[in-house]
Amino acid sequence: MTALRTDPVASTPHGAVRGGYEDGVAVFRGIPYAAPPFGPRRFRPPEPPEPWDGVRDALAFGPTAPKPPYSEAFAQYLSDPTVPGDDCLNLNVWTPDPAPGARLPVMVWLHGGALTRGSSAVPVYDGRAFARDGIVMVSVNYRLGVEGYGYFPDAPANPGLRDQLAALEWVHASIAAFGGDPDRITLFGQSAGAISIGALLAAPQAQGLVRRAILQSGPPEAGERDKVRRMVRRMATRLKIPATAAAFAEVDRELLLRTQGEVGRLSSPVLGGPAFGIVVDGDLVPRDPLEALTDGGAAAGVELMMGWTRDEYRLWLVPGGLLERVDRLGAVALAGAMARCHVGSDVPRGYRALHPEAGTAETVGQMVTDHLLRRPLHRLADARPGSSYVYEFAWPSNLPDLGSCHALELGFVFDTGDAPESRKLAGEGAPQSLADEMHGTWVRFATDGDPGWQPWDATHPVRVFGDGAPRTDLGPRDAELSLWTPAPHPPDPAPAPANGTPPRGTEMRAVVRRLRLPGAVRRH
């Protein structure tokens, strides 16, 4: 007679938790790694949760951080479930063997969403395929928007990033009880999650906690404090309160979210604008993360895999017909992109010479993608040859106009292409063979640091997924990136629109309004 399988139970520093088995994988959901960040803890660094007696059920996703919904234009492509409740600093664990001593490799996922949206409850991020293939996978919720990244004179900066550090410390201390090896932790994240990983790798408090890291469509960076400060001040003006954490802590959460959405609606990856972001704070982020990681001082022994999608910009511009609008605006949109990228007219001329068939939106989109992603990731790989691996995702969505857009690779990385939420972006009929290849690559890298192609060197090897059979191209974006000067320089006068006035200052804000590019997609 076969013995019945009992529900898995694991110990944590704060009490025992009980999960369940799904397809042979032990799953624990909604485990608190920090106390609810509300009441007197609002806008403060995370604190340990209250310990509990007995065994706590960990069967359902925990509450998600306060966040506004996606607009209708973007909700048709992106899913973002909301789970109500205060205890939003929680995480989930999928493990093939919840026995202490199994010493399996660990992967910790940080979701994207422009630091204003997203959660670990998105079905695309289900960790069962990783556990099936011998990985203990953890996904994390953290504070978002003004709650997590507001910049105030009376509170420490970057509380959302501090949440992520607290979760990483929890994993390092606790994951052995779930079968994981705390000495083989790979951080991986996409977009804002990848940007967060860059900051964590550079943070003095996180040194020694991570063995490897994967940055998907997001570079190490710190935002401009003035941009974040402007967001907070504009919100304060609308709310008629001081721009302080103490005053914001008294505001109802729903009102704060509505105000945040109203103030941030004009931000965009194409033309910038005020937005929430990680800032240099002299403590957790003592200097720009890219600088810290490229001078050899921070995370020197951490192996890196990083990359982008071929058409990142299409998720920013296709919803709501923005792609066509940029093409119609022509020189005005191109001037805005030049100002955004701090370049003169020689750069877009070079792009058009390399790609004479490209329209304005393609030129603008690829310029901005190179500015935001490919240039800093190239710089990071150049600083760490031999231990860095670079990829490009090039499979085009089966949905019209999306191409190989931002976030499309996620269903392949997690091998969740059958989920309806993955099909919202990929369409029907996404190739399982590509998921097998990409998911297997992520597993191999987390297991032994070798994804299957040569590490970065002077030839700039880039593994291309989805454009025919997987292959390694040498320097596929080198011609475009060579157009950029090594250091910023004063831009040439921007081409003037029909009225003869270059779009600077107030005029630039008018361009943003004409494009109507929502802040929700500054970073997915």
The mean pLDDT of 5-30, rounded to a whole number, is 96
Q: In this structure, are residues 315 and 402 in contact, taking their beta carbons and an 8 Å threshold?
A: yes
Span 425-437, average pLDDT: 98
**Helix or strand (DSSP H, E) at 489:** none
303 contacts 385 by C-beta, under 8 angstroms: no
Q: pLDDT confidence of 497, banded at 50, 70, 90?
A: very low
The conformational region for residue 67 under phi > 0 = left, psi -120 to 50 = alpha, else beta, is beta
Q: What radius of gyration do the chain's Cα atoms show?
A: 22
Per-residue pLDDT, 273: 66
How far is 439 from 128, CA to CA, in rounded Å? 12
Using an 8 Å Cβ cutoff, are 70 and 117 in contact? yes
503 has pLDDT over 60 = no
pLDDT at 270: 55
Q: Which pair of tokens denotes residue 337?
A: 């992109």
CB count within 10 Å of CB 316 equals 26
Is a pLDDT exceeding 80 seen at residue 507? Answer: no
Query: Of the given ranges (47-61, 216-230, 325-339, 450-464), which has the lowest mean pLDDT?
Result: 325-339
For residue 323, the number of C-alpha atoms closer than 13 Å in the C-beta half-sphere is 21
Give the residue among 439, 486, 427 at the shortest CA–CA distance from 465: 439
Give start and end residues of each alpha helix (H) in 79-224. 128-132, 145-149, 159-174, 192-202
Strand order in the sheet with 25-32: 20-22, 25-32, 90-95, 136-140, 104-110, 180-190, 212-216, 303-309, 388-393, 461-465, 471-474
For the segment 414-433, the average pLDDT, to the nearest whole number, is 98
* Count of all residues that appear for the chain in the document: 524
Q: Where are the alpha helices (DSSP H) in 265-396?
A: 289-294, 314-317, 322-329, 331-341, 346-354, 360-369, 375-383
List the structure tokens of 115: 């630091």
Closest CA to 164 of 150, 178, 154, 149: 149
Please report which confidence band the pLDDT of residue 517 belongs to, taking 50, 70 and 90 as the band edges: very low
State residue 485's pLDDT score: 78
Catalogue the active-site residues. Answer: 191, 312, 406
- Residue pair 54/300 in contact (Cβ under 8 Å)? The answer is no
Token output for 94: 């999928």
pLDDT in tens, 244-275: 999 999 999 999 999 998 988 766 655 566 78
The answer for residues whose C-beta is within 8 angstroms of residue 432's C-beta and 6 or more apart is 417
Which parts of 370-522 fold into alpha helices (H)?
Answer: 375-383, 410-413, 420-426, 432-448, 478-481, 506-515
What domains, with CATH codes, occur in the chain? Answer: 9-313+372-521 (3.40.50.1820)
Q: Any idea which residue has 């910049």 for tokens?
A: 151
Instruction: Report the side by side order of strands in the sheet with 9-12.
Output: 9-12, 15-18, 55-57
Query: Which residues touch 20 (CB under 8 Å, ≥6 apart)?
Result: 7, 8, 26, 27, 59
Q: Report the pLDDT averaged over residues 329-338.
A: 89
Q: Encode pLDDT of 129-180 as tens digits.
A: 999 999 999 999 999 999 999 999 999 999 999 999 999 999 999 999 999 9
% the chain with pLDDT above 90 = 83
Single pTM value for the model:
0.93
Rounded mean pLDDT of the chain?
A: 91
CB 381 within 8 A of CB 390: yes
- Higher per-residue confidence, 70 vs 492: 70
Q: pLDDT band at 491, cuts 50/70/90?
A: very low
pLDDT given for residue 297 in this prediction: 80
Q: Between β-strands 55-57 and 15-18, what pairing exists: parallel, antiparallel or unpaired?
A: parallel
- Render pLDDT for 461-489 as a digit per residue (tens, 0 to 9): 999 999 999 999 999 999 999 999 764 43
